Amino acid sequence: MAKPKRGVPKKVRVPTIQDVARLAKVAPATVSNVLNDSRPVAAIRKERVLAAVQALGYRPNALAASLRRKETRTIGIVVPDLTNPFFGALVHRIEELAAESDYQILLVSSNEDPKQEAARIRTLLDRRIDGLIVAPARDEVEAVSHPIGALPPTVLVDRGFGLAGFDTIAADNVEAGHRGCQHLLELGHRDIALIAMDPKLANFADRIAGYRKALAEAGAGRRARVVTGGLDVESCRTAIERELRRPDRPTAIFAASYVATLGAIKAIRAVGLDLPGDVSLLGIDDADWMEALHPYISAVAQPVEQMATEAWRLLNQRLAGGTAKSARIRLPCTLHVRESTRAVR
Amino acid sequence: MAKPKRGVPKKVRVPTIQDVARLAKVAPATVSNVLNDSRPVAAIRKERVLAAVQALGYRPNALAASLRRKETRTIGIVVPDLTNPFFGALVHRIEELAAESDYQILLVSSNEDPKQEAARIRTLLDRRIDGLIVAPARDEVEAVSHPIGALPPTVLVDRGFGLAGFDTIAADNVEAGHRGCQHLLELGHRDIALIAMDPKLANFADRIAGYRKALAEAGAGRRARVVTGGLDVESCRTAIERELRRPDRPTAIFAASYVATLGAIKAIRAVGLDLPGDVSLLGIDDADWMEALHPYISAVAQPVEQMATEAWRLLNQRLAGGTAKSARIRLPCTLHVRESTRAVR
DNA sequence: GTGAAAGCGCTAACAA
DNA sequence: TTGTTAGCGCTTTCAC
């Protein structure tokens, strides 16, 4: 048995700005000024400082600087579920942009739960993040900010569009629902079931509205069929399966999210129908695999990259002190017609 | 035009521990002791403190506490690519576990680039993270730690297995390659091409070794065909397509990663072969969609959840002062036989 | 152009 | 049990 000496911290003292100053025979302030270009420093001293920094392997303690400067160059990101490729891509891109501007990312997941979301955001605030990007679990203001109090500059992505006091970004979900449904109608479908994870979430409500609008325009307003799935693939699958087993089963499924799309494919399989022979499928949200296996899945793609870019741009503006009134940005989706949608027989 | 007053910080002063102390008529230290249970405090005072905290909406400044305590309760996570579902799931689970223990996650992506990796890790260190979990871009020690200097407790996941000074965790990649190849051999395949993104990465080297071993055991050692793809789907697709267009094309493809699997599917389509009629496909790494569209993709699944759990467990142990010698943990993979692998004609 | 000194908000050591 | 003091490592006055 090795006898583990517990809690013995390494004795290697990390050099501080004082150590550098001493070695370079200058004031700590001068070291700071050299390293941050915050004031002109004579060339001779500057060299001495740089040499000392080199010699000691000095790295400024960002914590101390943040405490003093009252700015952490850290932003929080909150997403409902990181395993969802939409949010994965979103975070990926934001992290990339943030890093370019020398910002770090504190990442938390809310697991689609407003309670957890609030709790996690609070811990982020305790760390004095400079800004926050959140894809909220719910759309209500209370859920996002009420239990938390003052927030730093915050931009809301995907959900919570239009909430007062926030810059908000979302896909044009009404148009996504409208355009998607139109596509199905053009193919001759009249019995189109739309599957939403939670029709109360604004983005689903919008997609449903667009869908209804397209239906109405085609004189098929009474044929709307909105099915509520749930937050996970299984519950969506079950709901869709039930719909497909009805005698008057739909000829097309419009799955209003990534999770719903996955559920729809599984449901169609489970019922033993042919895709797209017996039933067409149109998804919302794109993924790499949708163009791999046949039938390629037709989908209305949200502009994730753009959403990330805009989110970062808006946040950056605020971080720079911008006080423009809250932005509300709707980004257009793109319909990718592939193989899973086919003319009705 | 609104006239934007730039850079005007909000005048709302955030309450400090001093404010609470004053209001509660106690010493700041007492407030600290109440909030952290660090010393017994008389019930009367405790109540006064709590009331004052409530009244002011006081939240301790974690930055200041960290500076003083020399511990941030923050750990860094470094992954090569967050859009890869494997790393997405890994981060997701680690974040979850960390949050349960009141740790935060600073997330950075290395984009498969050791240079970027080193740079990003350095910025994490400047923030005095307590620990680090990294899925390195390369396997060499130098790449991970040499250009950086002293690291906090660090565990390496997926790559860099066995590097001295680190707890390391990886799937049993040799076995994964072995078992996978065996499965193909059992189906009668003899011309099996293995596609690796980069055969120099240890996990690919291991998978290749396992594959060769299985081949040798079947007396087909000379028939090994290792194809180098690349870091992205397209380059893998191209490489596999080339292989499939040869007159002596393989009857089975063994794609040694998620990206390679996607590339393989696309290549098989591009060449116009039937999957699995003309060619079988076995992937490494599992994904939700592999059980959605036909043919369901057979795959050797890495135990992502377990890898995350173990990573967190090991790190936690170190954070608690544990000084056991570096752990090396190999976790077994699971073969999911589905529809994309079929007996050779 | 430079240095000395104060202080960001907290906790740990020392007294009482 | 409580308060006072010092100081974590840095940046920013202010004075020279």
CA distance A172 to chain B (A): 23
CA torsion, ordered A52, A58, A64, A65, to nearest 10 deg: 70
- Whether A92 has its CB under 8 Å from any CB of chain B: the answer is yes
Nearest to A81 by CA among B301, B313, B95: B95
Give the distance, in angstroms, between residue B60 CA and nucleotide D1 C1'.
23
Supply the DSSP string of A288-319, one letter for each residue. GGGGTSSSPPEEEE--HHHHHHHHHHHHHHHH
Nearest to B227 by CA among B201, B206, B251, B208: B208
CA distance A266 to chain B (A): 6
| Distance set, CA B174 to CA A98, B177, B179, B220, B259 (Å) | 38, 5, 8, 18, 19
CB A31 within 8 A of CB A59: no
CA torsion, ordered B285, B289, B293, B299, to nearest 10 deg: 10
- Whether B164 has its CB under 8 Å from any CB of chain A: the answer is no
- Mean pLDDT calculated for residue range A249-266: 97
Question: Which site among A63, A101, A105, A253 would you substitute to test the B interface, given the most B Cβ atoms closer than 10 Å to its Cβ?
Answer: A63
- Mean pLDDT calculated for residue range A91-119: 95
Which alpha helices (DSSP H) does chain A contain, by range?
A: 17-24, 28-36, 43-56, 62-69, 85-100, 114-126, 141-144, 173-186, 202-217, 233-245, 258-271, 304-319
Per-residue pLDDT tens listing for chain B (345 residues): 232 333 334 456 899 999 999 999 999 999 999 999 999 999 999 999 999 999 999 999 999 999 999 999 999 999 999 999 999 999 999 999 999 999 999 999 999 999 999 999 999 999 999 999 999 999 876 666 666 778 999 999 999 999 988 999 999 999 999 999 999 999 999 999 999 999 999 999 999 999 999 999 999 999 999 999 999 999 999 999 999 999 999 999 999 999 999 999 999 999 999 999 999 999 999 999 999 999 999 999 999 999 999 999 999 999 999 889 999 999 999 999 999 999 998
Residue B141: per-residue pLDDT: 60
What is the set of domains in chain B, with CATH numbers?
17-60 (1.10.260.40), 72-171+304-332 (3.40.50.2300), 173-302 (3.40.50.2300)
Strand C reaches within 7 A of the A37 CB: no
B202 beta partners? none
Strand D reaches within 7 A of the B17 CB: no
Amino acid at A25: K
What number of other Cβ atoms are within 10 A of residue B264's Cβ?
34
What number of other Cβ atoms are within 10 A of residue A191's Cβ?
15
Average pLDDT over chain A reads: 93
CB B93 within 8 A of CB B305: yes
Helices (H) and strands (E) in chain A, counts: 12, 12
Amino acid at B70: K
pLDDT tens by residue, B178-226: 999 999 999 999 999 999 999 999 999 999 999 999 999 999 999 999 9
Q: State yes or no: cis peptide before B147, omega within 30 of 0.
A: no
B253 beta partners? B193, B281
Contact B85 A88 (CB under 8 A): yes
Which alpha helices (DSSP H) does A108-165 contain, by range?
A: 114-126, 141-144
Average pLDDT over chain B reads: 93
